[in-house]
Amino acid sequence: MRYMYRNGNSNVIIDTKTGTKARFTYDDEFHPRFAESIDVTITYKCDGGCPFCYADCTETGRHADLMSDEVNQFIESLHPHTELALNGNDLTIPHLEEFLKKLKRKRIIANLTVNQKHFIKNIDLLKKWAEKNLIKGLGISLSDATDPNLSRISEFPGAILHVVAGILSENDIKLLKNRNIKLLILGYKQKGRGKTFYNETVKNNIEMLHNILPSMLRSKAFNLISFDNLALEQLHVKDMISQKDWDMYYMGDDATFTFFVDLVNKTFAESSLIQETKPITDWNAKHMFQAIQKIT
């Protein structure tokens, strides 16, 4: 399925089957009027216990109230076909399915990320949500590359495996090759527990990944390799491809077409990397984005 819409001086096309997006303009620069994609925190509860978790998630972490009037105002203000990147973690968030149904009615694209352990535990539920188009994209945060159940990712056309530069090891890469997997490489965030966990092993793994990345990009061991902006910077990906390819595939700096919203703490910022977020006083997503644009 394809969605097409106009945003400022550009036309945007999203292919929800492949997860790809294209943006076109006849002008020299893009001037969006609203965010095309929003990184949304809906919970801080997760029993994964990752020592590098930038969000400081714990087993007793708080959930957002997804049925609150404030959250409803936020959803109502979104432009149709806006993409929301939601952190589902262990999927115990109250009213999550009802929330996803509301997004679908509003023609909002919900992309949900879960811990690998809970992907396997809740695979039937996730499959039901995918079949009902309640979620379009599914991110699985890697915790164990030796798990044979990882191959079940291929049962979800919109699924992608999330790995973190600095945590991903060379042995992990060998184990993940040729398993019909799409890969999203995330940059290492020195925030939360990630700040205290940062060490020589993390540095060495980032250097290792930088060194072998050109061969990974040339090979067909992965169905797709993509990056967030922090990983692009940490791994110097721009130096590995032509300027023509960079201009074609780079989707813009943080806060150019995107921003971050924390529905638990009721704050927003340019991205989830920002330490000092701003309290939400106006729950209109377009107004938040305009405020971000003035800041950046």
The pLDDT of residue 89 is above 90 = no
pLDDT reading at 19 higher than 80: no
Please say if the pLDDT value at position 77 is more than 80: yes
Count of CB atoms within 10 A of residue 109's CB? Answer: 23
Give dist(CA 219, CA 212) in Å, integer: 11
pLDDT tens-digit readout, 213-247:
999 999 989 999 999 999 999 999 999 999 999 98
Residue 123 phi/psi, 5-degree rounding, is -60, -35
Q: Which amino acid is at 1?
A: M
**Residue 20 pLDDT level (bands cut at 50, 70, 90):** confident
Q: Are 136 and 107 in contact (CB under 8 A)?
A: no
Confidence (pTM): 0.94
pLDDT of 154 higher than 80: yes
**Which domains are delineated in the chain?**
34-295 (3.20.20)
Q: What is the mean pLDDT of the chain?
A: 94
